[in-house]
């Protein structure tokens, strides 16, 4: 069984266009390349900690730095990767930036994984003798 039955992957879009389309992304429009981009962003243990820290809602960078025990420069790098993948949104207030998860991106990835799961449940075709 191959993944060829999933929607055909288009060339990987630049990270900025993935982030720009995250808010308007529907689950059906998530292609294999975009799924890979999201999974790659989630593949780092520190970035997963950031995602988990933001699961409770919007957080200030200063709070994330303290809670995760990371230098601000290191945290900023990981936040940028997650934001470029479309998983986070940031807003400035005064001298601080507040980040929150983009639920649309998470839903799109969840539904892409659901389609993958449904396809992997199919039995194999009979082999030739």
pLDDT tens track for 76-104 = 999 999 999 999 999 999 999 999 999 99
What pLDDT does residue 128 have?
82
| Angle, vertex CA 83, rays to CA 79 and CA 85, nearest 5 | 120
- Whole-number Cα distances in Å, 49 to 25, 57, 98, 106, 108: 24, 14, 16, 15, 20
CB atoms under 10 Å from CB of 111, counted, come to: 14
Asked if residue 118 has pLDDT above 60, the reply is yes
Of the candidates 13, 99, 10, which has an alpha carbon nearest to the alpha carbon of residue 57?
A: 99
Q: Give the burial class of 38: count Cβ atoms within 10 A of its Cβ; 0-12 exposed, 13-18 middle, 19 or more buried.
A: buried
Asked if residue 41 has pLDDT above 50, the reply is yes
Tell me the average pLDDT across 47-67. Answer: 95
What pLDDT does residue 11 have?
32
Tell me the average pLDDT across 37-52. Answer: 96
Between CA 42 and CA 38 the distance in angstroms is 6
Helix and strand numbers (H, E) in the chain are 6, 3
Tokens of 9: 């992957």
């Amino acid at each position: 069984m191959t993944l060829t039955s999933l929607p055909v992957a288009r060339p990987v879009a630049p990270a900025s266009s993935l982030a720009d389309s995250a808010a308007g992304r529907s689950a059906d429009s998530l292609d294999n390349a975009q799924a890979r981009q999201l999974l790659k962003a989630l593949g780092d243990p520190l970035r997963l900690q950031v995602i988990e820290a933001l699961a409770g809602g919007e957080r200030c960078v200063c709070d994330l730095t303290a809670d995760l025990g990371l230098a601000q420069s290191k945290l900023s790098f990981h936040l940028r990767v997650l934001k470029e993948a479309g998983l986070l949104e940031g807003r400035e207030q005064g001298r601080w930036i507040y980040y929150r998860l983009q639920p649309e991106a998470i839903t799109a990835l969840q539904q892409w994984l659901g389609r993958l799961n449904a396809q992997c449940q199919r039995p194999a075709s009979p082999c030739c003798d």
